[in-house]
Amino acid sequence: MSTNLIIFIVIQLSALIYFVELLRRIYIRTKEYELKETRLTLPFGFLRLRHILVLYILTYAAWIVGSLFLYHFFINPPLAVSGATLRVFNLDY
């Protein structure tokens, strides 16, 4: 295994641990404080906590997919097809 792949995996695992811990803390806080979701207490009058959490989860999933794409594009470029020129951005230096 290359050191770039190891660093990539460590960064992804760290982000996942942070993500799970943040969701756990939010869950604990929502059970600890009985917050009423009324028009006066919600941001913009409609934005609920579950909307923010869903957006955060979707953003995290997009970040994982995007980082995998960038890893394969910059660190582990695809093999060149015979007869075609391919610009290789190898960042191993």
| DSSP element (H, E) containing 55 | helix 49-70
What pLDDT does 44 receive?
A: 67
- Long-range CB contacts for residues 67-75, cutoff 8 Å, separation at least 24: 67/8, 67/11, 67/12, 71/8, 75/4, 75/5, 75/8
pLDDT in tens, the chain (93 residues): 678 778 888 888 898 899 889 888 888 887 887 767 777 666 666 677 778 788 888 998 898 888 888 877 777 666 544 445 555 565 655
Note the pLDDT of residue 46. Answer: 66
Cα 50 from Cα 27, distance rounded (Å): 11
The whole-number pLDDT of residue 26 equals 80
Residue 48 has what pLDDT? 74
